[in-house]
Every structure is written in C-alpha cells, then in structure tokens.
Structure 1
C-alpha cells in the first residue's frame, strides 16, 4: 500500500513539473520575440493594446532598438523644411508589428504634450516613418527630434492635403494604441 502511494506521488510530481515547465515557456511560445530592455535613453514608448512590452509603461525603445527593427529612408519635402530631405528611421508599420499592436487609432504625443489622433491605417497603408535622422544627422530635440513622424508626401498626392499637417508630430515621445 505504501509503495502504491509513493508511485502515485511520483506521477503527480512529474505531472506538476511538466506543468511548471510549460507555464514557464508559455510566454515565449504564445507571444513574439521578447523586447529587450533599453540600454540607452528611452526616446519612444508604445503603450495601449500592444502584445509585446518590456516595462510597466509599455514597449520602451532607445535609439538602437528602433534601428534594430530596420532602418528605412524616405526622401520627401515637408511644409517645415526647404526642398527634399532624406529621412531615416523605422517604418511605422514595422514598429506596430514588432509590438503586436491591435487597434484602430494611435494617439501620438510630443514632448510638449501636443497630442493628435492618427488612424492605424496611416501606419499600415503608407510608408509613414518614425524618423530619427535627417540628411544623415541624428535628430535632436532642438531640431524636431529625437523622433519625427514623417509622411512620404511626395510619393502620395493624398498626403499633401494641408489637413494632415497636424499628424506630423515632431519631438515624438509616445504612441498609445487604442
């Protein structure tokens, strides 16, 4: 009788170990690649309905983490600069994919708390860029940086509409997906 009880306990113990091992691996199995901790100053936070985060505030990114998603160039004119500029940064859709964003609206906020609502479709339908460099120079706060939402207005006539100018958020600090 004692031997049978020990055997049942051994089976339960092995089952419990299996469950614990599954639960420990579940976040990696169910979600995307984990987002590392920023090593440098945080220049952008993405929060709201996102599936991948690295802090209680949401998904926080330093400059290198944004570069690691992939650097894209967009050459376009803007209402605030002279002539065509060469912007580089991460595509909005690539960032939204990386954090597994789910929503229809993105609230973009600047360092001065200017906030504007952007449709998620802007991130998905256009090569909307979260620019961190202009003409090969890192963008600084004094020059619309560290992140500026840039639309490829020269490639898309619909983006030249003056009513869209408020969506070009410079000194961007956060995106909240709703």
Structure 2
C-alpha cells in the first residue's frame, strides 16, 4: 500500500489524472446535448420566447451562397435559413426587431423600411461556413450575412449594421 509519506507527488498526480479524465469523459457525454442547445431566442411582441436550436434552424429551408466579407480574409460559403423565415416561424412579418449579439451589440431593423435588402434570397442566419458549424472565435455560431460579392447595393452602412455575428437574440419591438 502506498502512503503519502512514501510517494506524496505520485499519489496527488494520480488523483489529478483521474479527476481530469473523468471531467473529459463527462464533457464528451454532453456532445449530443450541444445539438439541443439554444443558439437563438426570439422574443415576440407579447413576450413569448421561442428557442431555436441548431436542429430547429436547420429544419427550415436552407439557403447558401459564396461571398467574401470585410470581416473575413477569404471567400467562404455561408448557409442557413433566411432571417425572414426565422421571423415568420414565430409570426413576425412587420414592425421593428432588435438583433442582439452575444457581446451586447444590438441594432434595430425596421422590416418595412428594409425591403430593399430583406429579399427572398437574403440575408440568411448562417449556421455553417464551408459546410461546417462555426465556433464563436470565427464569428459563430450564428451570423446574419448577405451575399456582398456582386451586389454593390449591399455595401452600405445599414446592411453592415445588421450583419451581426454571434447572434443570440431577436426581440420584436
């Protein structure tokens, strides 16, 4: 039997290794739960909150396009549901909504006044870049994005303002 006086460092090191291994195994067992994690909360005018998981967002019709942005270094494919489809899912089709990022950045969007750039093709709430979910350190997991390439009318401050990354909440005002 090993005692602390015989090998104190080995015993403590073994205990730390067992603890670290159990924490990793516990973390791995929660991977399926990540698919059910709420990525976006939409608050309707009456205060009802609707949670959107990755699965729910990806169950909506998906749109994809390749574009370069002023925030990325190269052209990427972005895919996800239309912003207007997500809003329609909870009954929002007019008025003003507030888009809120994880870091607290927020911008208001008047749906009627934005008809020029809220189209049947864009913007999307990107859930993937180049076919893969993208992490927070790459502006994910959700990003309101437009196909800027080939659309000079989208290279405007109001469009850039609502090109919000790390989107976590939409509030119907």
TM superposition score normalised by structure 2: 0.70
Deviation at 1:124, TM superposition (A): 4.4
Structure-1 residue corresponding to 2:66: 75
Deviation at 1:163, TM superposition (A): 5.0
Structure-2 residue corresponding to 1:45: 41
Structure-2 residue corresponding to 1:15: none
Task: Report the 3-state secondary structure (helix = DSSP H, G, I; strand = E; otherwise coil) of the residue aligned with 2:127.
Answer: strand
CA distance in 1: counterparts of 2:58 and 2:120, whole angstroms: 21
Deviation at 1:45, TM superposition (A): 0.8
Task: Report the 3-state secondary structure (helix = DSSP H, G, I; strand = E; otherwise coil) of the residue aligned with 2:165.
Answer: coil
CA distance in 2: counterparts of 1:115 and 1:73, whole angstroms: 25
Structure-1 residue corresponding to 2:145: 150
Unaligned runs of 5+ in 1: 1-38, 51-55
CA distance in 2: counterparts of 1:107 and 1:173, whole angstroms: 11
Structure-1 residue corresponding to 2:97: 106
Structure-2 residue corresponding to 1:95: 86
Structure-1 residue corresponding to 2:16: none
CA distance in 2: counterparts of 1:103 and 1:49, whole angstroms: 11
Task: Report the 3-state secondary structure (helix = DSSP H, G, I; strand = E; otherwise coil) of the residue aligned with 2:64.
Answer: strand
Deviation at 1:113, TM superposition (A): 0.9
Task: Report the 3-state secondary structure (helix = DSSP H, G, I; strand = E; otherwise coil) of the residue aligned with 1:176.
Answer: strand
TM superposition score normalised by structure 1: 0.68
CA distance in 2: counterparts of 1:136 and 1:125, whole angstroms: 21
Unaligned runs of 5+ in 2: 1-34
CA distance in 2: counterparts of 1:177 and 1:105, whole angstroms: 6
Task: Report the 3-state secondary structure (helix = DSSP H, G, I; strand = E; otherwise coil) of the residue aligned with 1:164.
Answer: helix
Q: Answer yes or no: is 1:58 the counterpart of 2:44.
A: no
CA distance in 1: counterparts of 2:143 and 2:71, whole angstroms: 12
Deviation at 1:58, TM superposition (A): 1.3
CA distance in 1: counterparts of 2:43 and 2:118, whole angstroms: 15
Structure-2 residue corresponding to 1:119: 110
Q: Answer yes or no: is 1:130 the counterpart of 2:125.
A: yes
- Counterpart contact for 2:84–2:93, Cα < 8 Å: no
CA distance in 1: counterparts of 2:121 and 2:45, whole angstroms: 21
> Which 4+ runs in 1 deviate beyond 6 A?
none
